C-alpha cells in the first residue's frame, strides 16, 4: 500500500485560523492582545531562529511576543529575574524558556519558577504529573506531543485499544506522548536506547511515534502494514544538491516507510508546523483563563 | 520450573530494622520522634483497619502517629482543615489521607493541599511528574510501587533492557510503577481494561506487575517461563474453610503461575508488608529532610 500523507501544514493552518479568530475576540473584549514572553540565553543560531519563528507566528495570529535575549554569560539570577518579571507582567500570558540554556544555568530551577498559569510549554512537573494521572487535567499539555496527537486523530482511526509504540522517552516528547496515548486508551510501549528487540515491538504497532533524533533510523520493513507513523525527528543531513548544503530528515526512513504505513507524516511539513501552533493555542488559552478565572 | 518465592515479609522486616535504627538516631538527636499524621473520614471498616495497622507500624519503629477520624458527614472544609493543621504542625513529618473518602469530598483538592515536604504517599502531581521526568527526583515515591520495585531488585536480576508489562494504570500503582521501571531502563508496556491481546504481551514479559484488582485473573500459562511476577492485588474471596469465611488472593493465579515464573510474590506476604514499610521509610526521610534543610 502507499501511505496517506498526514499534512501537518494543512492541519496547523486550520488551527491557526481558529486561534486568530479567538485572539481577535479576546483583543476586542479586553482591549489588549494576548502576549507570549520568551527567554533566550546565549547566541546559538538554531535557538535564535526558533525564537524568530515564534515571534512571526505570534504576529501572524495577532498576538504580541516579547523576547528577552541574554548573553551566554548571564547569571542564574539574571535569567530567573526575567521569568519573575514575566510571571508578574499582566500583558504576558505565556512564558517560553528556549532550551537548551548554557551549562552553567540550572534549567530545572528556571523552569520550576514559571507560574503554572503561564506554563504554555506544559513541562512544569505538576503539569506532567496531572497529564499522567487519571481524573486530573493539566493546565497545559506540551506542544509537540499535543500536535502529534492531533495528527493521529486526523486519520480518523480510533486510538482506543490500539497497540502504540513510542520510540524515545524525553521529557518534552516521548514521556508526555506516552501518557497521552495511554489516556486515549491505547496500549503503550515506550522504547528507548536500552530496548532490546525494538523491531519486534514495531512489527506489532498500530501507531508509531518516533522521537529519538536519529536520522532515518526506523526502516519501512520494521513497520506493521497499515500503521500510523508520526515522525517527530528533525535531523539535518548533508545534501550537496540542496542550496544550503543540507536538508532535514526525520527519524523514519520515509521512502521505505511510505510503502508499508497506512498514514505517515513527512519531515519537514509534519509535526513541525504543529509545534508552534500548539504553543499559540496554549497562550490564547492562558489568556482566556486569566479573564475567566 | 518452580518459582522462587520473593518473601515481602522478610524484606520488609529488614528495612524496618533499618528504619527503627534511623528513628532512634533522629530521636536522640532532636529530642522528639518523627510523626505521621493520618486523616480518616467515615467508618469504612477496611479503612479503619488500615489506619490501625499504620499506627501499630509507626509504634513498632519508634515513630509517633496521630489519626484524626472524622464522621462520614464531615465537610470539605473540615477535612481540609485537618490537612492544614498537619502541614503547620512541626511534630508531623508525613501526612497520609486514607482513601477512598466519601463521595461528597473532593479528594483531589484535599490531596493537593498536602505540603510537598510531607507528601509521604508520593501522590502529589508534582511528585508524579518528577518521577516520570528524566533528570528530576521526586521528594517521595509512592509506597506500593516503591515496595514492588524493591522486591524486583531483591531477585538480583538486572532490570535494564528487560521487557516489563504492568497490568493496570491506577494513579497509586500502575502509573508510578510503569514510570519507575522505565527509569530503571526496562522497556515498559502498560496494559489496562482496553488492551487487546494482554496474553500476547504477557507471553514476552520478563517482569510482570499485576495491579488490576481482579482475583486470580492472570493464569500461569499466560506467563513467560522464568518471569518475575509481582502481584499487587489483594482480593477477598469466599472460603468456607477459613475462620472468617474468606481469604485474600492476588491478581495472579498463584498455583498455576508458580510452575512457570522464575520468581513470584505471594498474597498475602508479598507486596502488602512492603507498603506500610515504605510509608514509614518516607516519613523518617521527611523528618531528616526537615532538620537537614
What is residue B241's three-state secondary structure?
coil
pLDDT band at B123 (very low <50, low <70, confident <90, very high): confident
Judge whether residue A188 has pLDDT over 90.
yes
Interface with chain A: mutation pick from B194, B199, B211, highest number of A CBs within 10 Å: B194
Q: Distance (Å, rounded) from C-alpha A132 to C-alpha A75?
A: 34
Angle subtended at Cα A173 by Cα A115 and Cα A257, rounded to the nearest 5 degrees: 155
Of B108, B128, B200, the CB nearest to A132: B128
C-alpha pair distances (Å), A66 with each of A97, A237, B14, B273: 12, 32, 57, 55
Greatest Cα-to-Cα distance within chain B, rounded to the nearest angstrom:
57
Q: How confident is the model at residue B218 (pLDDT cuts 50, 70, 90)?
A: very high
Look at A134 and B169 and tell me if their CB atoms are within 8 Å: yes
**A68-87: average pLDDT:** 97
Check residue B46 and give its pLDDT. 86
Average pLDDT over residues A198-224: 98
In this predicted structure, the answer to whether residue B7 has a pLDDT above a threshold of 90 is: yes
CA distance B195 to chain A (A): 5
For residue A108 the three cell numbers come to 530545572
CA distance B188 to chain A (A): 6
Q: Looking at the DSSP assignment, which residues form a beta bridge with residue A286?
A: none
In this prediction, residue B292 carries a pLDDT of 84
Taking a C-beta distance cutoff of 8 angstroms, is the pair B239, B258 a contact? Answer: no
Chain B closest CA to A102's CA: distance in Å?
Answer: 16
Lowest mean pLDDT: which of A5-14, B42-51, B167-176? Answer: B42-51
pLDDT of residue B246: 93
Instruction: Please indicate whether, in this complex, the C-beta atoms of B194 and A187 are within 8 angstroms of each other.
Output: yes
pLDDT, residue A67, reads 96
Average pLDDT over residues A174-181: 98
Nearest to B133 among A130, A175, A196 (CB): A175
Query: Quick check: A293 pLDDT over 90?
Result: no
All domains in chain B, ordered by first residue? 31-115 (3.40.50.10860), 142-272 (3.40.50.720)
Q: Which residues of A sit within 8 Å Cβ distance of B?
A: 108, 124-136, 160-161, 163, 169-171, 175, 179, 182, 185, 187-192, 194-197, 200-201, 204
pLDDT at residue A176, rounded to an integer: 98
Q: Tell me if B56 sits within 8 A of B81, measured CB to CB.
A: no
pLDDT, one tens digit per residue, over A143-155 is 999 999 999 999 9
Residues 6 or more apart in contact with residue B255 via CB below 8 angstroms: B220
pLDDT attached to residue B35: 97
ipTM: 0.95
> How much is the average pLDDT of B187-210?
98
**Residue A284's pLDDT band (boundaries 50, 70, 90)?**
very high
Hey, of A187, A191, A195, A197, which one would you mutate to test binding to chain B, going by the most B CBs within 10 A of its CB?
A: A187
- Residues of A labelled as active-site residues: 54, 98, 121
Spatial CA neighbour of A274 closest among A14, A49, A97, A59: A14
Query: Alpha-carbon distance A30 to A199, whole Å?
Result: 53
| CA atoms lying within 13 Å on the CB side of residue B124 | 21
Which residues of B are known to be catalytic?
54, 98, 121
What percent of chain A has a predicted confidence (pLDDT) above 90? 95
What's residue B114's pLDDT? 96
Contact list in B for residue A133 (CB cut-off 8 A) is 125, 128, 171, 175
* The pLDDT of residue B1 is above 80: no
Q: Do residues B208 and B227 touch, judged by C-beta distance below 8 A?
A: yes
Q: What is the mean pLDDT of residues A83-112?
A: 95
Q: Could you give the CA distance from residue B268 to residue B247 in angstroms, rounded to a whole number?
A: 9
Calculate how close chain B gets to A141, using CA atoms only, in Å.
13
* Contact residues of B toward A, CB < 8 A: 108, 124-136, 160-161, 163, 169-171, 175, 179, 182, 185, 187-192, 194-197, 200-201, 204
Asked whether residue A1 carries a pLDDT value surpassing 80, the answer given is no
Least-confidence region, from A30-39, A40-49, A179-188, B156-165: A40-49
Locus of grid cell 491557526: A16
Contact of A66 with A35, CB cutoff 8 Å: yes
B255-278: average pLDDT: 97
Helix or strand holding residue B37 (H, E): strand B35-41
The verdict on a CB contact (< 8 Å) between B125 and A124 is: no
**Nearest of B97, B75, B102, B98 to residue B87 by alpha carbon:** B97
pLDDT at A107: 93
Share of chain B above pLDDT 70, in %: 100
Has residue A95 got a pLDDT over 90?
yes
Q: Are B182 and A179 in contact (CB under 8 A)?
A: no
Cell numbers of A53, please? 519563528
| Whether B189 and A194 lie within 8 Å, measured CB to CB | no
Q: Which residues contact A25 (CB under 8 A, 6 or more apart)?
A: none
Q: How confident is the model at residue A123 (pLDDT cuts 50, 70, 90)?
A: confident
DSSP code at position B270: S
Residue in chain A closest to B189 (alpha carbons) equals A189
Amino acid at each position: 500500500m502507499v501511505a496517506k500523507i498526514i499534512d501537518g501544514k494543512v492541519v496547523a493552518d486550520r488551527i491557526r485560523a481558529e486561534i486568530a479568530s479567538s485572539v481577535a475576540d479576546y483583543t476586542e473584549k479586553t482591549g489588549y492582545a494576548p502576549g507570549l514572553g520568551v527567554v533566550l540565553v546565549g547566541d546559538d543560531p538554531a535557538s535564535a531562529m526558533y525564537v524568530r519563528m515564534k515571534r512571526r507566528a505570534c504576529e501572524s495570529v495577532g498576538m504580541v511576543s516579547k523576547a528577552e535575549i541574554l548573553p551566554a554569560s548571564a547569571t542564574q539570577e539574571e535569567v530567573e529575574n526575567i521569568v519573575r518579571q514575566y510571571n508578574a507582567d499582566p500583558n504576558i500570558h505565556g512564558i517560553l524558556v528556549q532550551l537548551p540554556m548554557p551549562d552553567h544555568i540550572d534549567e530545572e530551577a528556571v523552569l520550576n519558577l514559571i507560574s503554572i498559569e503561564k506554563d504554555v510549554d506544559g513541562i512544569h512537573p505538576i503539569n506532567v504529573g496531572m497529564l499522567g494521572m487519571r481524573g486530573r487535567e493539566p493546565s497545559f499539555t506540551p506542544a509537540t506531543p499535543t500536535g502529534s496527537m492531533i495528527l493521529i486523530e486526523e486519520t480518523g482511526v480510533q486510538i482506543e485499544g490500539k497497540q502504540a509504540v513510542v520510540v524515545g522517552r524525553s521529557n518534552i516528547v516521548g514521556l508526555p506522548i506516552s501518557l497521552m496515548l495511554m489516556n486515549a486508551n491505547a496500549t503503550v510501549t515506550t522504547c528507548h536506547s536500552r530496548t532490546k528487540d525494538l523491531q519486534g515491538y514495531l512489527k506489532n504497532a498500530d501507531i508509531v511515534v518516533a522521537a529519538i533524533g536519529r536520522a532515518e533510523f526506523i526502516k519501512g520493513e520494521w513497520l506493521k502494514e497499515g500503521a500510523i507513523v508520526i515522525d517527530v525527528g528533525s535531523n539535518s543531513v548533508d545534501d550537496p544538491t540542496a542550496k544550503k548544503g543540507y536538508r532535514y530528515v526525520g527519524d523514519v526512513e520515509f521512502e521505505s516507510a511510505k510503502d508499508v504505513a497506512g498514514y505517515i507524516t513527512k519531515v519537514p511539513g509534519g509535526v513541525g508546523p504543529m509545534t508552534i501552533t500548539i504553543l499559540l493555542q496554549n497562550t490564547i488559552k492562558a489568556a482566556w483563563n486569566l479573564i475567566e478565572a
